Amino acid sequence: MTDASPENRETISEIFKEIFGHHPAGVAIITATDEEGPVGLTASSVSSISADPAILGFSLAARRGSAAHIADADTYLVHLLDAENVELAKTFATHGAPRFGDVMNWETLPTGEPLLTDVSRVLRCRTLTQAQAGPALVFTAEVIEAARNDDPGTPLVYHRRAFHSLGDHSYII
């Protein structure tokens, strides 16, 4: 084990990145609307906190760009992606990539959030808590609406800085 003394901080950071790079995570896109229009970003930090009441958590790397707009939004949508949505994941993960254009299937909900209509599972959320943790913002959010279609899709995960799909080939038992 490496201790957290100042001389080891960089070493711990590198080991931490390597360890979590090996830990697969689900992939989501979080969207909101501000005075300039729709915004969104890809997140691999979304996790379930409680089922009753329905609460999820996520973090944003910094308070700039789309992350700042989502942090300030009253409500936002968390789209849980399938492997069939990998191109959306890549688009929303790429700085400066065009989003919400004519070639992307989306619509504005009556409540104002941009909905990516090709995504099977979507949660409409409102922030409960927001805390600064180093350079990141950490959120808990209550789920105020949920929608899903009957097609379960193929799970999409982020592992070792790449997108992967899960399927029958990945069963261990």
Tell me the pTM. 0.90
Amino acid at 112: G
The residues facing 87 across adjacent strands are none
How many Å apart are CA 92 and CA 67, to the nearest integer?
12
Q: Which residues contact 133 (CB under 8 A, 6 or more apart)?
A: 59
Buried b (16+ CB within 10 A) or exposed e, 82-119: bbebbebbebbbeeeeebbeeebebeeeeeebbbbeeb
Instruction: Tell me which DSSP letter residue 141 carries.
Output: E
Query: What digits encode the pLDDT tens for the residues 83-97?
Result: 999 999 999 999 888
Assign 7 a pLDDT band (cuts: 50, 70, 90). low
How many Å apart are CA 92 and CA 90, to the nearest integer?
6
